[in-house]
Structure 1
């Protein structure tokens, strides 16, 4: 059939289904062709529920999906299932008598009653009208028929293109665009009327399916898994019920699995990561006999309510994974999804998968730090109930940093050992916020407070020269890799002259105890202080250099450390003037040599500064416009490798420092 299918209805409000499993509901019998294993449920009657002023939950949500399926001629490969309204007996398996009576009453509402009750229903995120009753009953009945056809073996997979949605509807309350909980009612009917008892409900709607979890919260025969935007319980439907520690109660403890995203913007890599680490391991251990997807497409890229980034290909891959469970018995039941294009494209991708097509290939991707942290926390919680959860495999990198060493840390430790062994240098203690990122990176000779001449060497760690064993694997050939320490010759000369030395490594340590996500939400002011290397130099000047008793101080800055050194001069010039005799910058290929920012300090700086640069640095070109007079000496070094400029320029550094120290105060 290629046109819109209208409802073929058998309305049975008798007690055809009760809480006694021996009774059977009345549904339209059919026998699909043997070569069709996939079906669909759709009826234009479900568009009778609409808001004349417009609303996100609009009839076009299903008509657009249906038209896309027809345009692609996918309906010719699927068996149409006749739809019918849910019966009272079926609805009462989940819902209360009062809720049934209320929904039945909508069909008799006058225009004035609709207007008078509008504010009440808006606070429940609902709108009602006479057509609501029919659409809500058909939507629930359509999902029931889809599940029964699969549970009885008539079809392998079915897509129930039904609205209004259902997963927010609780036993006693309609809410969140939902009236009957379609999936929950269908699950109970299947358990009552077929041999299938273990049912898995996977809810990937961007909102937590509070009504569905509530219906089975104490039932171990139903595994409910939800991936949703949570934001600490502030995202709809709000509250702690959708949190990761909400795992069911009584006999159902552990059979509710919530994967609550703490922020918007989650995408394919995040959902696939959660599926691989949480959803599928638990599903394999539970071994469902039927899988139902509460398929809300409001986490799709472009949906204004969900604000997440799942692509149609991402939905296809999740469907593909779930299709391998329960012997292939799968029902996809539409829930949310309010961007019509995104919902249509996502539903079309899911339809192709249940028809047996392989999902398109995803590009290389990696889950976000937020996702990996969330999945790890969920894994720790769910490992209490499921043996298949491997918590260690879910650990974010930050969780193992306490027993790991970064390459910069290893190089810093090597430098500290080298300086202590060769020059008896000791660590300078740091206090407060500087302790974590810079501990062990400031070392001095033992005569810091006794020597009249102090050299302050400010740098980052040495350069690594690495050789790869294979460009395919990027494995290192350790025997051919080494560290270049630009300062070895310089420090040997400083020691031979009998000068005191303060060695300052400005490269901050990784924050091993603070995850990336935690750092983003930490106090911004403190985070900036950790990163401000100028603060370290200012602290050392105030507490050590200025109080050291030295009458002559020489600053030597290397590479990226030159800028913080100039910042220190700006911040403490009144005490620096007259005490600092020389400022040496080893610039390399930095764009320009740095100078103090304040004009009143530049004349002093020009008298006592020396800058070493490669001879081919652009400021030496004839056409250059750089003002060279800002510096005392610009020293070109015939060396193209910045790391070797110190070695080649050491005689010039020695001569300049001795000349400056010879000038009387």
Structure 2
């Protein structure tokens, strides 16, 4: 349950975008079980959630609240308990009781003036990871516009664009089954503009672009403390990744995350990207015994903590599969559509990860997995570090390089930078590029070797097919009738297995 404050919308996201709308007055989020409070007679959202559970098959409901009261996930001005409704409830250590312990998540802003950057930062680092791990069947937004810019009681600075982006992120949960109940707000102009922005999203629109922002020192510190508290209950939270580096704090910046496939390779990341990465990482740890690779350099540890994982036998194997990818990056994995389906992408990602590990284990190989993002230039140091300190120090005589999407360029750079050791030990170079341009080593002397050892999986109707000379630089080329990169990888995997086995058989 997510709170933003006043009116109700139920929506089932489908290709035809069918909608049912009702308005709820008066608001209800302050009402207690036996007492009216704060202009509220009944807690409408809590009542609605219980009715849905009793009368429908839906049982797991997420409620998010963006104004000062405690429901399931609540962002609210708290001021150390000195802001309405006063008292200790709603502080970050109010996490629920008994069987409900961990199911109350409070993000208590310590002062006024919190704006889009603070709220989006909280969504990225706390709300969406928890929400994705919880995997709700219905999302209810208790839409409080007290935090809107111009509201003299809330004294915060959230813009209509900020509300639109928060709603858009939540619309990717529960298959798009979303209800919005209008709650607080005391400036008619602010409520009007904010409610319109939210309504446009639930009617199937995409949010306006939002430029880079930096969360405030107080906001970043609050998010870090909440992540540290809630990480006791939610495995997807990484409190260390939220820790402010210094004062004044430069918290994580945020850029627009509309799911249109970009035309430039350096376009900004999606908030959902980090969530999917964390979910996959937890899955690989808990289900397959994968381990985080320690990075001795303080600089590497600070930048890339948690992005390199390996199977326990990484140093005792004969064949090592070294995968460099961008799994979880929706700009790579999704076709050009206005609304994303994060649940579908998560399912595809986990299913393919399972297939990958199953293949590696069945063949007696080991796995070294590096998860990148779009900032490709900064990864050369990481890839060569992992190559020098793990791949080359393992007992593996046969290395299989596997690249995914734009991360394939990192493998080509590795071939050029570590030419001698690569040529001596690498038996196969796999590129799964989808619709992204395939890559080649930059040194001419490496091209012939590459061609003899390469496998290229392309999306249907890839433009390179019209450039015969470019295709000929690659060895085995496979066309796959699929757009999304992870799904394409899954379809190509049987052919990749056969290719790798054939390449290894040549050595015997």
What's the TM-score bracket when you normalise by the shorter of the two chains?
0.3 to 0.5
TM-score, structure 2 as length reference: 0.46
- If asked which structure has higher relative contact order (CA below 8 Å, sep 6+), I would say 2
Structure possessing the higher radius of gyration over alpha carbons: 1
TM-score, structure 1 as length reference: 0.36
